[in-house]
């Protein structure tokens, strides 16, 4: 069981044999590491326990994983010019997903900043994305901005920034505040290059 971590502040808690998609679905509960119930069309079905580790998500700030840790960040690419990073104008939509190693409850509208290097010279700056429930799951939360200005060859970067609570909250299983830092020593920033 050594391939399943139990330490706080470790982005590599999930086993390496899982695909990136599978890792986004796996998160800690107080039963252990869990995944969506396989082969079941019932969205209310109990999660499948992959490895039983009692109180893994913790019942207080000093037990279990102690604080939800960001395990991945990614840009969501759509199928239209406005959502696939080829709009090359002020009508683009930017959407990112941030995943933690346990369930995270959101209230209000936290925000995250995506940096734009303005390589195109179009004068487009950084973009502030707001939390959106649509597409979010228990441990993966989506942030979006519509009518975002991006130009051909601009490079968008997520990471090296913090989530701004904006009057809202992010809380983990034990109802403790979740770190708003997206800067982790073992988690590199993700970038997307705008193309036409």
Mind listing the pLDDT tens digit for each residue in 61-117? 777 777 787 888 889 988 988 888 887 778 889 999 998 888 999 999 999 999 888
Q: How far apart are CA 77 and CA 164, in angstroms?
A: 23
Whole-number pLDDT of residue 181: 62
Q: Is 34 part of a structural domain of the chain?
A: no
Can you read off the two tokens belonging to residue 130?
A: 């707001």
pLDDT in tens, 160-188: 667 888 888 888 877 777 766 654 434 56
Quick check: 8 and 66 in contact, CB under 8 A?
Answer: yes
Q: Is 60 exposed, middle or buried (0-12, 13-18, 19+ CB in 10 A)?
A: exposed
Residue 95 lies in a domain: yes
pLDDT (0 to 100) of residue 128: 94
Select from 191, 189, 29 the least CA-distant residue to 101.
29
Query: What is the per-residue pLDDT for 186?
Result: 46
Give the other-Cβ count within 10 Å of 74's Cβ: 16
What pLDDT sits at residue 3?
65
Q: Give the pLDDT confidence score for residue 59 in this predicted structure.
A: 77
Nearest to 159 by CA among 192, 130, 194, 187: 187
Q: Does residue 23 sit in helix, strand or coil?
A: helix
Residue 171, in any domain of the structure? yes
Give domain status of residue 50, yes or no: no
At 129 the pLDDT is 94
Check pLDDT > 80 for residue 52.
yes
What per-residue confidence (pLDDT) applies to 173?
Answer: 77
- Report the number of distinct structural domains present in the chain: 1
- In a domain? residue 179: yes
Q: What is the pLDDT of residue 120?
A: 84
Strand (E) positions, 56-165?
70-75, 92-100, 105-107, 111-116, 127-132, 140-148, 155-158, 163-164
d(CA 159, CA 172): 21
pTM score, whole prediction = 0.84
Here the CATH number for the domain that contains residue 178 is 2.60.40
Q: What is the mean pLDDT of the chain?
A: 81
Q: What is the rounded CA–CA span in Å between residue 109 and residue 182?
A: 17
Confidence of residue 1 (pLDDT cuts 50, 70, 90): very low
In-domain check, residue 59: no
- Distance between terminal CA atoms of the chain? 47
Q: How many residues does the chain have?
A: 196
In this structure, what is the dihedral angle of CA atoms 57, 59, 60, 63, given to the nearest 10 degrees? -60
C-alpha–C-alpha distance, residues 162 and 139, integer Å: 17
Instruction: Look up the domain containing 146 and give its range.
Output: 70-193
Q: What is the pLDDT of residue 46?
A: 86
Is 19 part of any domain?
A: no
Q: Would residue 37 count as lying in a domain?
A: no
């Amino acid at each position: 069981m050594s391939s399943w971590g139990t330490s706080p502040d470790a982005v590599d808690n999930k086993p390496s044999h899982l695909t990136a998609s599978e890792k986004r679905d796996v998160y800690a509960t107080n039963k252990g590491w869990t995944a969506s119930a396989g082969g079941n069309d019932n969205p209310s079905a109990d999660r499948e326990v992959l490895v039983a580790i009692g109180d893994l998500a913790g019942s207080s700030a000093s037990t279990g994983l102690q604080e939800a840790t960001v395990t991945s960040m990614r840009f969501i690419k759509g199928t239209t010019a406005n959502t696939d990073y080829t709009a090359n104008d002020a009508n683009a939509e930017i959407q990112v997903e941030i995943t933690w190693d346990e369930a995270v409850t959101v209230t209000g509208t936290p925000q995250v900043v995506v940096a734009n290097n303005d390589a195109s010279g179009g004068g487009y700056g950084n973009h502030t994305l707001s939390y959106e429930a649509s597409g979010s799951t228990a441990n993966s939360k989506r942030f979006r901005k519509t009518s975002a200005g991006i130009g051909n060859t601009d490079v968008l970067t997520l990471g090296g920034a913090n989530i701004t609570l904006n009057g809202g909250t992010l809380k983990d299983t034990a109802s403790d505040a979740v770190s708003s830092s997206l800067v982790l020593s073992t988690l590199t920033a993700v970038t997307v290059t705008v193309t036409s």
